[in-house]
Amino acid sequence: MTSLVEGQPIPDFTAQSDQGELSSQALRGTPFVLYFYPRDNTPGCTTQAQGFRDLKTEFDALGVQVIGVSRDSLASHERFRDKQSLNFPLISDPDEALCSLFDVMKLKNMYGKQVRGIERSTFLIDQNGVLRQAWRKVRVPGHVDAVLEAARQL
């Protein structure tokens, strides 16, 4: 587990996405949004992904790449991407390596039982790999707009 601090560089990572391997080193020079979500094809996660999809041209105009992350398989991501016409990469993190680096695995209550899962979180990283803003315990309504507004301030 890493202690992420705004204004400090994020830890180096390499991960597999539905569009091939992504790494923090390869992303240097490009600001990006890394958003962690619990599961493909669930109501909140679908709404959030659609929000990033619908505003992607605005993120692109700012030169900011959007990347989603969950523990789902690449095959699940491909089905989710195709069903929702997603236009950004989705990282598969089944071993929770990236989730651990960003400290998004939390105990959550689900139907009265404690379960370990991804706490919906978003990170805005600048072109130098420095964390500029972190959102934790994200509520979906209005969130993508808030991330876009923060990206405009880079």
The three-state DSSP-derived secondary structure of the chain is CCCCCCCCECCCCEEEEECEEEEHHHHCCCCEEEEECCCCCCHHHHHHHHHHHHCHHHHHHCCCEEEEEECCCHHHHHHHHHHHCCCCCEEECCCCHHHHHCCCEEEEEECCEEEEEECCEEEEECCCCEEEEEECCCCCCCHHHHHHHHHHCC
In the annotation, is 99 catalytic?
no
Catalytic residue among 10, 15, 34, 45: 45
Would you name the residues annotated as active-site residues? 45
